[in-house]
A and B are shown apart, each in its own frame.
Chain A
Amino acid sequence: MDLHVPKNFKLTIIVSIILLIACIVASLAFGARVVSFQDILDGLTGKNEDSFGANIVRKRLSRTVFSLLCGAALGVSGALMQAITRNPLADPSILGVNTGASLFVVCGLAFFNISTANQYIWFALLGAALTAAFVFGIGSMGRGGATPIKLVLAGAATTAALSSLVTAILIPNSYAMDQFRFWQVGSVGSGTWNSITTFLPFLAIGILIAFISAPALNALALGDDVATGLGVRPGFLRLGGAIGGVVLCGAATALAGPIGFIGLMSTHVMRLILGPDVRFVIPMSAITGAIILTFSDVIGRLIASPGELEVGVVTAFIGAPILIILAKKSKVRSL
């Protein structure tokens, strides 16, 4: 397959890079205290160490980098899940994968006394993987395989079931409850350089898998039979793509708490602009995901100032209408 570059590609890249920079600046500038542009420059270049504003900017820098990386991970994860299920509504939060990761982190907090980000990640990955398998299992039963509606319903039911379990485990356990609230409310605000270094290997693995599998995923979009004819093994490809998607969203959830709808939004925006080619949709979803998450984080800081609103609440508020619009469109059958 030769690379046919979509005609809006250059413009899209330019616009998204401008937006990305705007989001980064906003994320550094806004919060309980708004800092000046001079402070941002000082903070980034390390000049003027004593200035209060520059110190704030340095604190916000780790948070900003963390939210960019998380957003990218969630964006790619959503794009991968949509491609392997050939389902426009697939997203880690809608499929319940986030809640599965939460449940396992909560179990770890309550029963195994885990306390560091390194430990959270492994529990979250296991939870995300098991939930993804469970939801795909239920959603693809019966005639017609995994239709969007069946998958979303299976995800919603699983989310409901798992969140009852989460509450039931948390209520008697005040230690776990405190940790969990900190973890969940902390959101990207808990992003430190430490958590970023923990996150990076997982992000790298996930993105590597996404890039390697992208050409084959294009073939998969033509249907399993055609894909097999083109020399792609659908089962193997789906397994690989699922591992990539789960690693990305599991690691992001472990460090930032459950954040929904990023994958759904970024992938759809990009498919709308660039067309269906997965090789373009995946990298651009990473950038869009980073933009949306950072933007939502800034919004969360502004509307609840001087406190802050969990970024997951903001993304649900922006993303759920998109789910509704997609549901309204008649072509919810499959990709």
Chain B
Amino acid sequence: MKNQFGEINFIMTGIRKRRRRWIQVTSLLFVLTCILCCAMLLLGNTIYPIQEVIRSLSGERIAGVTFAVNTIRLPRMLAGLFAGFAFGVAGYIFQTMLRNPLANPNVLGITSGSSAAAVLCITMFHTSNAVVSFASVIAGLITVVFMYLLSRGKSFSIGRLILIGIGIQAILDAVISYLLLIGSQQDIPAALRWLNGSLNGSKIEELPPLIITVIIFTPIVLLLGKQLNILELGEQMASSLGVSTDKTRVLLIVSSVFMIAIATATTGPIAFVSFLAGPIANRLVGAGFSNILPAGLVGASLVLVADLVGQFAFVYRFPVGVITGLLGAPYLILLLIRMNRKGEL
């Protein structure tokens, strides 16, 4: 009897310890994200005093400051913050659900699907932002359904899913190149935005769809977070613990696709954020709790840091996607090497 109590006690201390760690790390990430947001507003070609920045944000018109802060830096910061958060959350959900760090929306072709739809709407039909967002969500969902239909078979294997994703990505990237070519929008900034992701030229009027989507879907996925963790244990275990696996899964996928599609339609596919955020969050927090929120914060911080680095660390300004690409690609190769060594593929 005593032994059993000891065991329960031991488990409870573990849970408490992990919960404390979760809270600590998440608050630290939150603070970090806030600092980065402030840095995005304060730094630039001219560094204005902080009081002037605050006054201009609260609506006062100060020559020079208002334009630089309200028209250029604020939209850029908000786009990075919300898109990064969306990429991080969606990436984490896919990686956790498919139990494989390689299975992120990028590799599965969802990001390319949304990009292609957005490029189509913008270059061919010159539609409004609302239509662009709507089309990219639809395209993202279609890509998911397509992937599901293609990868369904006698034996599901994650490797096959990823291979099919690579093929779909190749097709969609070809479509994007074609659209950029015939859309007479072949100027380099536009092409870079749709191939790498960039916060350059973010406009405040383009942001509402992204912000609203993140605000609506974050609570939903956070509520489903606990069930996601149970899904991770495997289908049978999840059913026997009372999780309705199909419903949870569909809800989670739809929410993630909404977030990723609208973020992609706003900033372009910022490389590797959805791939990096989850593993970094897991490493920082540890397993046991749902790391959706930390993953989102990591995603936002990644995008903001990469954008600051891209803007100020070099003589020339790099778009954010190039910096995250340079950070993320070596990690992807390392991860592959580790997985190959362990024989996980």
| A residues in contact (CB < 8 Å) with B | 89, 94, 138-139, 141-144, 147, 149-150, 152-154, 156-158, 160-165, 167-168, 171-172, 177, 260-261, 303-304, 307, 309-310, 313-314, 316-317, 319-321, 323-324, 327-328, 330, 332
Contacts and interface: CB of A to CB of B under 8 A. Distances in A.
Interface stretch (B27-35, B134-142, B286-294, B329-337): B329-337
Interface stretch (B8-16, B177-185, B234-242, B249-257): B177-185
- 7 shortest interchain CB distances as A-B pairs: A164-B325, A161-B329, A172-B316, A327-B163, A149-B159, A320-B170, A324-B167
Interface stretch (B41-49, B84-92, B148-156, B217-225): B148-156
SS class, residues of chain B in contact with chain A: helix
Contact of A153 (B102, B174, B315): B102
Which of A149, A152, A171, A261 has the most chain B CB atoms closer than 10 A to its own CB?
A171
B192 interface: yes
A152 B166 contact: yes
Interface of B: 102, 107, 150-151, 153-155, 159-160, 162-164, 166-168, 170-171, 173-175, 177-178, 181-182, 188, 192, 195-196, 271-272, 314-316, 318-319, 322, 325-326, 328-330, 332-333, 336-337, 339-343, 345
B316 A153 contact: no
B325 A321 contact: no
Given A154-B336, A167-B192, A168-B318, A324 B150 contact: yes
A22 to B, nearest CB: 24
B340 A150 contact: yes
Contacts of A168: 318, 322, 325-326
A152 B163 contact: yes
A316 B170 CA distance: 6
A286 to B, nearest CB: 23
B36 to A, nearest CB: 22
B345 A171 contact: no
A142 B337 CA distance: 9
A171 B154 CA distance: 47
Contact of A332 (B160, B271, B318, B328): B160
A47 B82 CA distance: 66
B182 A171 contact: no
B159 to A, nearest CB: 4
B174 A143 contact: no
Contacts of B171: 316-317, 320-321
A317 B322 contact: no
A330 B154 contact: yes
Contacts of B272: 160
A330 B159 CA distance: 11
Contacts of B328: 160, 164
Contact of B174 (A142, A313, A328): A313
B333 A142 contact: no
B181 A307 contact: yes
A153 B166 CA distance: 9
B262 to A, nearest CB: 23
Nearest to B271: A164
B155 A330 contact: yes
Contact of B271 (A156, A160, A307, A314): A160
B326 A164 contact: yes
A164 B342 CA distance: 27
Contacts of A177: 188
A22 B171 CA distance: 26
B180 to A, nearest CB: 10
B309 to A, nearest CB: 12
A143 B107 CA distance: 24
B105 to A, nearest CB: 14
29 contacts: A138-B340, A141-B337, A142-B339, A142-B343, A149-B159, A153-B336, A153-B345, A157-B329, A157-B336, A160-B328, A163-B325, A167-B192, A168-B325, A168-B326, A171-B192, A171-B318, A172-B315, A172-B316, A304-B181, A307-B182, A309-B181, A309-B182, A314-B174, A316-B171, A320-B168, A323-B170, A324-B167, A328-B150, A330-B155
